[in-house]
Amino acid sequence: MMEFFLKSEGVWFTQRTVHNFDTCLDESAESNVIIDILTKDNPKVLEVCQQQNVDPALVSGGASFMWQDNLDDVVPNPNYAAILVDLPNPNNPRTGKFLRNKGYVEGIPVLGVYHFADDGILTIETEYENNQGQERCWFINDNFRVRVMTVQMINGVKQMAYCSERRCVADSVLEEMLEHNRLRYR
């Protein structure tokens, strides 16, 4: 999981399409996701471990996920942030559990399970008090990834979402790419 986090580190432009089956609300939007890696001794990781009564020696690290409206120049709102902590399965590195300080579906601390398929697709399943969430995520290449999610209640599927995410590259990287292309066509 930490390899997946490392590959995900940075700022991602997200285009999200949401289908709500119990309302007619359209929550489709464009936003940015900011992902930072957290070491296993990071105070935020230790706080989540303490909150969920998990021995910090069992975790491998974590990541901070922050969301903001696209083109928003202000510092991201901490209310739209989550800390995920990896609790790997010592017998199978492709499976494990997530500790999360705040759930995506319900804003409460949650524990989810994950596994990686042979093709690299990550599946996360999270049980909340009133809902169940499933998310799948995979990389098309190093700078483009896809996520699909469902939220299900006792009476059926409540919401489905599709996100395409493109890594935002630094201006210096863009300049290098432009210069490389200029040199190719001289």
Helix (H) or strand (E) holding 170: none
Q: What is the mean pLDDT of residues 26-45?
A: 90
pTM: 0.84
User: Do the Cβ atoms of 112 and 124 come closer than 8 Å?
Assistant: yes
**Residue-range definition of the domain harbouring residue 109:** 2-184
Q: 149 has which bridge partners? A: 135, 161
Report residue 14's pLDDT band, with 50, 70 and 90 as the boundaries: very high
Long-range interactions of 154-157: CB distance < 8 A, separation 24+:
154/130, 156/21, 157/21
Name, of 102-111, 140-149, 174-183, the range with top average pLDDT.
140-149
pLDDT of 176 higher than 80: yes
Res 63: pLDDT: 96
Nearest to 71 by CA among 35, 36, 30: 30
CATH number, domain containing residue 179: 2.40.128.20
Q: What is the mean pLDDT of residues 90-117?
A: 86
The domain total for the chain is: 1
Res 116: pLDDT: 97
Burial of 30 per CB tally in 10 Å (0-12, 13-18, 19+): exposed
pLDDT of 32 higher than 80: yes
How confident is the model over 147-175, as pLDDT tens digits? Answer: 999 888 777 778 899 999 999 987 787 78
Cβ neighbours of residue 33 under 8 Å, at least 6 residues apart?
Answer: 11, 12, 14, 65, 66, 67, 165
Report residue 130's pLDDT band, with 50, 70 and 90 as the boundaries: confident
